[in-house]
Chains A and B, each alone.
Chain A
Amino acid sequence: MLSSSLIFALTGVALFALGLRGALLHPALLGRVLAINVSGAGVFMLLVALAYRGPAGNPDPLPHALVLTGIVVAVSATALALAMGRRLRQLEEQADD
């Protein structure tokens, strides 16, 4: 029985797996950071899809709150990872000089 919830839940799962693969395999740090974000988006989509109650009913607010928390945590982690990567490159370039 295909419903909007199921469509987006399965899409979320697919994004999660896709991002997971990228996070492990992508050669560049930036690519891995992108992949982690895509994977996170997949989990968020899963949660929001589970909360959906159709065009008429009110959605379950709890998963929405969880996803909002997740979005903020994700941007913090992204910023940290990028800053660390930048610092590492600086140190490596200094060592090369």
Chain B
Amino acid sequence: MTDPLVWPVLLPLIAALFALVWPRRAAAIAVTGMAATLAASVWLLWRVAEQGSLVHALGGWQPGLGIALRADALAALLLLMSTLVGFATTWYANGYFTDTALRERFWPLWLLLITALHALLLSGDLFNLYVTLELMGLSAVVLAALGGGAEALRAALRYLVLGLIGSLAFLAGVALIYGRYGVLDMAALAPLLQPEPTAWTALALMSVGILIKSALFPLHFWLPPAHANAPAPVSALLSALVVKAAFYLLLRLWLDLFQPVVTQNAAWLLGWLGAAAVIWGSWQALRAERLKLMAAYSTVAQIGYLFLFFPLLTALPEGPARDTAFGALVLLALTHGFAKSGLFLAAGVVQRQAGHDRIAELGGTARNLPLTTFALALAGVALIGLPPSGGFLAKWQLMSTAVQLQFWPWLLVLGTGSLLAAAYVFRLLSHAFGAGDGAQRKLTSPGTELPALLLVLCATLVLGLGAAPLWDLLSAPPALEVSP
């Protein structure tokens, strides 16, 4: 009972089961469940901050024979972000769905997606990660298609097929690992891995699988239609959390588990793909005519920024410089999580009020929905990377590390990306502040608009101002505890 590791997984799952057998109370069950989960993840972060990495040996068996749940600072921080975003979007989703039948189907699936995210972040076993990836993938696909028409269904189906391919590639890598090293527990495996054919092939397979799920260019093409056509709260979760969870797995593999196996060239490959993602994604976001499509392409670009860190991290030796760069990476990931979810929720409000989300016809939004427009603006601030947002600090650190290592192309990429981001944000805001009657004010409760606002405030103010006190946690290198 004194172990916080199981609760972030169990609480949303129990809520999902209750929501399924008690559909009339499903919304209340969901909110309660998410509140409890939030408390559990705060507790978890607290314990990790005190003790360092935590481990829970499920079934009481030695990890290797059994499965262990593990959390270090990175996992705990992402878990907290996931719970905060999950709670805010749950609150929002409560008011979003009006059709009763749809609501009944929505809640259990929603809670199961949250369960999957948490199970993935806390898993310490490679095959268990495969199961969590499948759980996450299937629930994300179903939610993306829920209540939508042919367009949403087509995009979700493509997501499903690609997701399954990715999971199989991951599983193939896991099979190779077990065949060669005989153990699936990550902490037990780490000292055994050496640069050799099996490790390289397994890492490549697992990485390709994860890269599909984290939508790195050029494997990103499934994301914009899927995220743009999903219901707003689902899009928020998909862009902010699901893609981030896959990225977390990549971090765990490349920087922690397979660290001796990773080569600088491989890291460069990821870095350059990230650079391409930044440019391509930002450019497509600028060209997008719909708000949600713009937000989806922005996700592609922001994921690219995260990958820019890879060659820097592998080039630096272990020490304070590397820790600082890593902290910036985590800060950027967290900022994007909050900002993007806030953006999608705000976009959902606009779409509900205006009946559409075509950017060119959104004139008058600022007048009719001031809170929401403010949220959009703050999200834009965080995405561009303006002070005082966490995005600013992270990108600044990225730039100085690149200068320190003399990786000049990264400065160009950063500059171009930020300019393009500024362009698409200002384009949106100029339409919103323009004249017109794009978003008539229908009856709307502040509860609908508040979650978005709170989320983007986290991205801009909380993370920006709170980065310094949290820095120890942010920059703690990924390291899983060895023995229970």
Contact = CB atoms under 8 A, between A and B. Distances in A.
Contact of B175 (A29, A32, A50, A88): A50
Contacts of A91: 149-150, 153
B129 to A, nearest CB: 12
Interface in B118-166: 127, 131, 134, 138, 141-142, 145, 149-150, 153-154, 156-157, 160-161, 164-165
A71 B47 CA distance: 38
B178 interface: yes
Contact of A16 (B153, B157, B172): B172
B143 to A, nearest CB: 12
B273 interface: no
Given A80-B141, A84-B153, A39 B168 contact: yes
B150 A36 contact: no
B171 interface: yes
Contacts of B191: none
B317 interface: no
A97 interface: no
Contacts of A19: 168
A58 interface: no
B319 interface: no
B153 A77 contact: no
Contact of B131 (A9, A62, A73, A87): A73
A59 interface: no
A24 B150 contact: no
B131 A47 contact: no
Contact of B150 (A46, A62, A69, A88): A88
B138 A80 contact: yes
B150 A81 contact: no
- Output the residue of A23, A47, A63 with the most chain B CB within 10 A: A47
A51 to B, nearest CB: 9
Contacts of A29: 157, 161
Dominant secondary structure of chain A at its interface with chain B: helix
A23 to B, nearest CB: 5
Nearest to A24: B165
B179 interface: yes
Nearest to B145: A84
Given A16-B172, A36-B165, A63 B154 contact: no
Contacts of B153: 84, 87-88, 91
Nearest to B156: A84
- Output the residue of B150, B172, B175, B179 with the most chain A CB within 10 A: B175
A95 B171 CA distance: 39
Given A29-B157, A81-B157, A91-B150, A69 B142 contact: no
B174 to A, nearest CB: 8
A20 B176 CA distance: 17
A63 B161 contact: no
A36 B161 contact: yes
Interface string A59-97: 000110010011001001100110011011001100100
Contacts of A43: 168, 171-172, 175
B138 to A, nearest CB: 6
A23 B157 contact: no
Given A77-B164, A88-B153, A46 B175 contact: yes
B138 A46 contact: no
A54 to B, nearest CB: 16
Contact of B127 (A46, A66, A77): A66
Given A24-B165, A39-B168, A47-B175, A76 B149 contact: no
B181 to A, nearest CB: 11
A13 to B, nearest CB: 8
Contacts of B178: 47, 50, 62-63
Interface string B52-91: 0000000000000000000000000000000000000000
B75 to A, nearest CB: 23
Contacts of B150: 88, 91-92, 95
Contacts of B160: 77, 80-81, 84
Given A20-B165, A36-B161, A73-B131, 5 more contacts: A63-B175, A69-B127, A81-B161, A84-B157, A95-B150
11 contacts: A32-B161, A36-B164, A39-B168, A40-B168, A40-B171, A50-B175, A50-B179, A63-B175, A81-B161, A84-B145, A91-B150
The 3 closest A-B pairs by CB, nearest first: A50-B179, A91-B150, A88-B153
